[in-house]
Amino acid sequence: MSSRRLLSGADRNRGRPSAASSSRAHREQVAELPAYEPPSFPLDTKARKALAELSTNRDTEKYAEHIEKSLRLLSDSVRDINDRYTERKNYIKGRQQKRGEGTQKTDRDRAEEKAALALKEEVPQLTEECESAVRRVIDLQVELEDGKTALRETIHRAESEDANATPRRGAQNDDEDDEMADGSPPQVTGAWRALQEAKKKMADDYATKTMYERYALNNDYIGFKKLAHDAMYGTDGKPLPDPSRWFTQNGGHADEDDDEDLVIAEESVSINCPLSMRVMEDPYTCNKCKHTFDKASLRSFFGGRRVVKNCPQTGCGVEGLTLDDFSPDPIMLRKIKRAQADQVKADVDDDDEEENGEGDTSMGVTHEVNLKSERGRDRGRQLLEAIEDD
């Protein structure tokens, strides 16, 4: 029999380095790079063009798109979870009113009340997590924009170094002996080092800013705060605190309940467009004067994107506006929908009162309420107060 024998896969691989160890060894080998040496000559035109394209390539644009999408999804999430809690709370209140006194709660009632209490505990925490995530995403957005600015500064620096080196090279071509006489090589920082220095300077400047300067002046954060506040307090009409009160002096998140004396005055907002006098379907608000109009009415008023006119709101003195000065207002749209829903509910309640008006005057029910029903009703009231007590 031949001395050869079949080897299993495990036998054949025994003694060989595993894939993980090979990968680790490869990383260790790659990490052993020589020390960075700055270039001896500045970047030429082709190299500077390639460097400029880094800030506009597809990967950078895709990263910026992901940042914008993240901000939008976080805003939508905090809106949806608070809307869901408000809907549950109002639904339970409505069921208690319909159930009336002396009526025992069903298993469904108890389950829904338990779910609402769970939302009462979870929603504020989720809202805070979303807001913290928005701030982190804004930090990434600033880092991306600062990186683009650092690239432009690096390119400008390379252009200056190239311009300073060109006369030197021209003189050397005219007389080779000048190289020995001059002696000093051209001063070249190098693109990598120049870029790192520019990015570090911008990062240090951003780190010195207060929370108010980083976020309360950022349009994305302002939009998030407005949407979150409207979802939490829109039905109660509680005004949004002034941005200067969003953060404490030590950089923490301020409690809105402590800022009731320093808030933006709540206006009596009309849901009708000042131009058409009809309920706005697609509200757009001016970025300069904060007046709101329906999109269709604005287009008809301006007649074109480049047409310049004054604000159509009576008494407003803002001049030189174009269609580009108006943006969609999701908060106003929410207020319009709430007002319409409240009006529908009020109309239904009025109809019910008219139908039941005669019967209400002749009610002569006895007050024989059993003790179990009375206790159940009291627990229901306490539960509703706990849900509403934010």
Helix (H, G, I), strand (E, B) or coil at 327: strand
Q: How many domains does the chain have?
A: 2
Instruction: State yes or no: pLDDT of 281 exceeds 70.
Output: yes
Instruction: State yes or no: pLDDT of 339 exceeds 50.
Output: yes
Instruction: State yes or no: pLDDT of 367 exceeds 80.
Output: no
Does residue 235 lie within any of the structural domains?
Answer: no
Whole-number percent of the chain with pLDDT over 70: 70
Q: Give, to the nearest 10 degrees, the angle between helix 45-52 and helix 107-174.
A: 170
Does residue 165 lie within any of the structural domains?
Answer: yes
Do residue 69 and residue 163 come from a single domain?
Answer: yes
Do residue 67 and residue 196 come from a single domain?
Answer: yes
Region for residue 190 given its phi and psi (left: phi exceeds 0; alpha: psi -120 to 50; beta: otherwise): left
Do residue 49 and residue 198 come from a single domain?
Answer: yes
Does residue 228 lie within any of the structural domains?
Answer: no
d(CA 78, CA 225): 10
Do residue 285 and residue 148 come from a single domain?
Answer: no
Domain carrying residue 327: 271-349
With b meaning 16 or more CB within 10 Å and e meaning fewer, what string describes 89-122?
beebeebbeebeeeeebeeebeebbeebeebbee
Do residue 197 and residue 306 come from a single domain?
Answer: no
d(CA 283, CA 294): 5
Number of helices and strands (H, E) in the chain?
12, 3
Note the pLDDT of residue 43.
83
Instruction: State yes or no: pLDDT of 220 exceeds 90.
Output: yes
Does residue 381 lie within any of the structural domains?
Answer: no
Residue 275: how many CB atoms within 10 A of its CB? 16
Mean pLDDT of 273-278: 93
pLDDT digits (tens, 9 = 90+) for 74-106: 999 999 999 999 888 888 888 888 877 767 888
Do residue 193 and residue 303 come from a single domain?
Answer: no
Do residue 198 and residue 73 come from a single domain?
Answer: yes
Does residue 377 lie within any of the structural domains?
Answer: no
Do residue 150 and residue 282 come from a single domain?
Answer: no
- Token digits for 319? 């001049």
Do residue 197 and residue 286 come from a single domain?
Answer: no
Higher pLDDT, 119 or 181: 119
CATH assignment at residue 280: 3.30.40.10
Does residue 225 lie within any of the structural domains?
Answer: no
Strands, sheet with 292-294, edge to edge from the N-terminal-most edge strand: 292-294, 283-286, 326-328
Does residue 97 lie within any of the structural domains?
Answer: yes
Mean pLDDT of 24-32: 61
Band of residue 189 on the pLDDT scale cut at 50, 70, 90? confident
Does residue 5 lie within any of the structural domains?
Answer: no
Q: Tokens 């310049």 belong to which residue?
A: 308
Note the pLDDT of residue 364.
44
Amino acid (one-letter) located at 336 = I
